[in-house]
Amino acid sequence: MAQDFPDVEPQDWVITETEIQWSIDVENIPWEDDPHMELPEGVKTYTVNSNEAEGRADFFIRFPEGYIEPEHTHPSAHAVMIIDGTMTVHGHTLTSGDYIYGQKLPHGPMEYHSEDADYGCLVFASFVGGSPAHEWDEDPNE
Ligand SMILES: [Fe+2]
């Protein structure tokens, strides 16, 4: 059973933009259908480390070209780092090395693009403090 998130005032979302560039051999990552976030179909993940009792999950995410992640909340907080491609959210277009933090407060929608449509936008996400399962109303990809 996951621990409850600490009883603190939720922090608003944060965006930090950097100039970091990454080199990832995406073909050698053992992608699987996402078991964590319960998002609309099409998202692949590679789990680096997770512990449900701690309410923690760290994983790479691969969003298909043009994918829209619906506006959502989740019991956990997350830090997300863009590895390759772009995430457009709240009027910002985030690129490699940029960071976004979100938690219980609604955030999104996020739209993902990549110059390499074969694997889409790649990010690393660290969820902590509860389930990473997303709560959302409508699938904007339909
Ligand atoms: Fe989120």
> What pLDDT score was predicted for residue 13?
78
pTM for the model stands at 0.85
Distance from the alpha carbon of residue 64 to the mean position of ligand 1, in angstroms: 17
Residues near ion ligand 1 (CB < 5 Å) are 102
Give the Cα separation of 50 and 131 in Å (integer): 11
Distance from the alpha carbon of residue 113 to the mean position of ligand 1, in angstroms: 17
Q: Which amino acid is at 104?
A: K
pLDDT tens, position by position, 28-70? 889 999 999 999 999 999 999 999 888 899 999 999 999 999 9
**What's the rounded mean pLDDT across residues 90-105?**
90
Query: Where exactly are the structural domains of the chain?
Result: 63-119
Q: pLDDT at residue 109 above 90?
A: yes
Give the Cα separation of 104 and 109 in Å (integer): 15
Distance from the alpha carbon of residue 115 to the mean position of ligand 1, in angstroms: 23
Q: pLDDT at residue 124 above 80?
A: yes
Contact 67, 42 (CB under 8 A): yes
